[in-house]
Amino acid sequence: MKIYVVGGAVRDALLGLPVQDHDHVVVGATPEQMVAAGFRPVGKDFPVFLHPKTQEEYALARTERKTAPGYHGFVFHTSPDVTLEDDLVRRDLTVNAMARGDDGIVVDPYGGRRDLEARLFRHVSEAFAEDPVRILRVARFAARFADFRVAEETNALMRAMVEAGEADALVPERVWQEIARGLMEERPSRMFAVLRDCGALERIMPELDALWDMPHPLEADSGVRAMRVIDHAAAGGHTLAVRLAALVLDVAAIDSLCARLKVPNDCRDLALMTAREHGAIGAVQGEPAERLAALFARCDAYRKPERFADMLLALECATLGGAYPQRPWLLGALGAARGVNAGEVAARCGADKAKIPEAVLAARVEAVRTWMGQAPESAT
């Protein structure tokens, strides 16, 4: 039995980056031997075990065979005679197909180190084409490692996969999982550039892809602007929900995009609200207190002030660092409106409960009006 650290841990160590997780491959062992050594089996499709102390994953070396479209259509084979090279050849990219033994020696049968030095994403073998998730993974890696580029032959292979319909076999949950991870990387625009280059973006996010045909007053088109905005949001360290809202601000059918990809409710709701309100908020400082109170109510800001603040962050990202006085102005006004004690207002209404909503609204409007008259210069 020989145990190797494989994949991202080896890659990141060679790049001098911190290593978060360790994946291991075990060569020359059977499931029975793993259990006898104290490992706990957890794999459903193929033998994977948890280390009794570290709880890290240890997978038996395996080969695989494509049996159906998509990424579920595989049959896996494990046995003690499967070699490390047999296991590594099924991996996606050469930079992820290296292993390190207990002696510290890196096993690199497919040129991963060479491609690390060249800052190149290159597929290991034609088996890459059997799993469409790998298109998403390459795009996500491009967002993380912004100075890497996709090898021409790998891009050609991904384009052929898209044209063959492999991208259409991706389930929405997996697409969103990879897109969400890519959005949280350093340069999300690189992910979308890779997806566009191979034709996959049009298949998995056609609503976003359509931006490149839409004019924009400040850019070559709305797609170029969206890429600058999402990178600006990433540089600001914002949450996933804020980043998505900033990205899709100009998308025409956010609801259908989110529904198809099964985007989580918090991300969907913020994106829809941001797109709906950004026009009204643009001239908000000239609006009367009644309009502001109505805006807050429409956005459910009295109950969810954090989401309202996130919307303003997403809109601020769209200025690419330009002045955005609307955010401090609205947060100040919202603070004044939320300072109204609704319970006290309700108590003053006595037994006439029907008057409570109107009375609370009137109190909030007055609080905003008062705040507007006393707003500090820094908030305007």
> Among 296, 163, 311, which residue's Cα sits nearest to residue 248?
311
Q: Which residues pair with 297 in a beta bridge?
A: none
Distance CA 55, CA 39 (A): 9
Distance CA 190, CA 199 (A): 14
121 or 66, which is more confident? 121
User: With 50 as the cut, is the pLDDT of residue 378 above it?
Assistant: no
Q: Which two tokens stand for residue 18?
A: 């911190």
> Among 191, 130, 192, 179, which residue's Cα sits nearest to residue 158?
130
2-6, 24-28, 80-84, 116-120: range with lowest mean pLDDT? 80-84
118-122, 135-139, 306-310, 351-355: range with lowest mean pLDDT? 351-355
- Categorize the per-residue pLDDT at 42 as very low, low, confident or very high, splitting at 50, 70 and 90: confident
> Among 221, 214, 174, which residue's Cα sits nearest to residue 72?
174
Buried b / exposed e over 248-275, threshold 16 CB at 10 Å, is: bbbbeebeebbebbebeeebbbbbebbb
User: With 80 as the cut, is the pLDDT of residue 44 above it?
Assistant: no
User: With 90 as the cut, is the pLDDT of residue 373 above it?
Assistant: no
- Categorize the per-residue pLDDT at 62 as very low, low, confident or very high, splitting at 50, 70 and 90: confident
- Categorize the per-residue pLDDT at 376 as very low, low, confident or very high, splitting at 50, 70 and 90: low
User: With 50 as the cut, is the pLDDT of residue 122 above it?
Assistant: yes
Contact status, residue 106 vs residue 12, Cβ threshold 8 Å: no
Average pLDDT, the chain: 91
Q: Which two tokens stand for residue 52?
A: 């009794």
Per-residue pLDDT at 75: 61
Buried b / exposed e over 159-176, threshold 16 CB at 10 Å, is: eebbeeebbebbeeeebb
Distance CA 372, CA 14 (A): 57
For 203-212, what is each residue's pLDDT tens digit?
999 999 999 9
74-83, 128-137, 154-163: range with lowest mean pLDDT? 74-83
For 293-317, what is each residue's pLDDT tens digit?
999 999 999 999 999 999 999 999 9
- Categorize the per-residue pLDDT at 79 as very low, low, confident or very high, splitting at 50, 70 and 90: confident
72 or 172, which is more confident? 172
Q: What is the DSSP string of 145-188?
A: STT-EE-HHHHHHHHHHHHTTGGGG--HHHHHHHHHHHHTSS-H
Q: What is the mean pLDDT of residues 55-60?
A: 88
User: With 70 as the cut, is the pLDDT of residue 61 above it?
Assistant: yes
**Chain centroid to CA 254:** 16
Q: Which two tokens stand for residue 133?
A: 């998730």
Contact status, residue 213 vs residue 201, Cβ threshold 8 Å: no
For 229-263, what is each residue's pLDDT tens digit?
999 999 999 999 999 999 999 999 999 999 999 99
Q: Which structural domains are found in the chain, ordered by start?
A: 1-118 (3.30.460.10), 281-379 (no CATH)
Per-residue pLDDT at 286: 78
What contacts 94, CB < 8 A, 6 or more positions away? 110, 111, 112, 114, 115, 122, 123, 124
